[in-house]
């Protein structure tokens, strides 16, 4: 009887964590850094990812909602003094839609009928700062 309650509690907690992650409220951080300050996605920064960091290694995974049947223009700006940083955007089938790094700064993504996208930010011994912004555009 007691074991059943423990299993039930783990199932409920796991379901809550999954729902928070899928809806973009839970961010998975597997990184180490001497200094890291991220930009919160609230208010005027709702359509922006960004951070300042020093000696950062690892990755950040987050789900972001975009309007379905829309086209978005993404702009990546960075000042990486040392190391490497890249941001990859995946669809629901884990197909890569866009890569942002020091050679790829602008891209358009059509959301079609999808609204959830996986954003993975990868750091390799990186020092500096970055910003990835997006806005919906009308293709008329």
More confident residue, 23 or 58: 58
Nearest Cα to Cα of residue 130 among 71, 77, 53: 77
pLDDT beyond 80 at 65: yes
Q: Is residue 58 part of a domain?
A: yes
Q: Is residue 23 part of a domain?
A: no
Distances (CA, A) of 139 to 67, 100, 116: 15, 22, 21
Q: Note the pLDDT of residue 83.
A: 95
Distances (CA, A) of 128 to 34, 45, 93, 105: 12, 19, 32, 16
* Pair 32, 83: CB distance under 8 Å: no
Strand partners, 71: 110, 137
Distances (CA, A) of 21 to 48, 69, 120: 18, 23, 13
Q: Is residue 12 part of a domain?
A: no
Domain count, the chain: 1
Q: Note the pLDDT of residue 26.
A: 83
Distances (CA, A) of 127 to 17, 37, 83, 103, 130: 31, 12, 6, 17, 10
Q: Is residue 83 part of a domain?
A: yes
Structural domain for 53, as ranges = 28-137
Q: What is the rounded CA–CA span in Å between residue 44 and residue 73?
A: 17
More confident residue, 82 or 138: 82
CATH of the domain at 99: 2.60.120.380
Q: Is residue 9 part of a domain?
A: no
More confident residue, 2 or 30: 30
Question: Can you say whether residue 112 is alpha, beta or left, with left for phi > 0 and alpha for psi between -120 and 50 degrees?
Answer: left
The pLDDT tens digits for 112-136 are 888 899 999 999 999 999 999 999 9
**Is the overall model pTM greater than 0.85, yes or no?**
yes
Mean pLDDT of 2-10: 89
pLDDT beyond 70 at 1: no
Q: Is residue 5 part of a domain?
A: no
pLDDT beyond 70 at 139: no
Percentage with pLDDT > 70 across the chain: 98
Q: Is residue 18 part of a domain?
A: no
What token pair was written down for 62? 């987050």
Q: Is residue 8 part of a domain?
A: no
């Amino acid at each position: 009887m007691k074991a059943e309650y423990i299993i039930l509690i783990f199932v409920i907690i796991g379901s809550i964590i999954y729902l928070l992650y899928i809806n973009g409220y839970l961010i998975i951080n597997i990184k180490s850094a001497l200094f890291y300050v991220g930009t919160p996605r609230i208010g005027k920064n709702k359509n922006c990812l960004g951070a300042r960091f020093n000696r950062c290694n690892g990755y950040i995974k987050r789900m972001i909602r975009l309007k379905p049947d829309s086209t978005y223009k993404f702009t990546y700006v960075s000042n990486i003094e040392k190391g490497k940083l890249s941001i990859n955007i995946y669809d629901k089938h884990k197909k890569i839609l866009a890569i942002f790094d020091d050679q790829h700064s602008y891209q358009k993504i059509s959301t079609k009928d999808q609204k959830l996208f996986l954003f993975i930010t990868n750091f390799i011994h990186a020092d500096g700062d970055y910003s990835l912004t997006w806005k919906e555009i009308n293709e008329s």
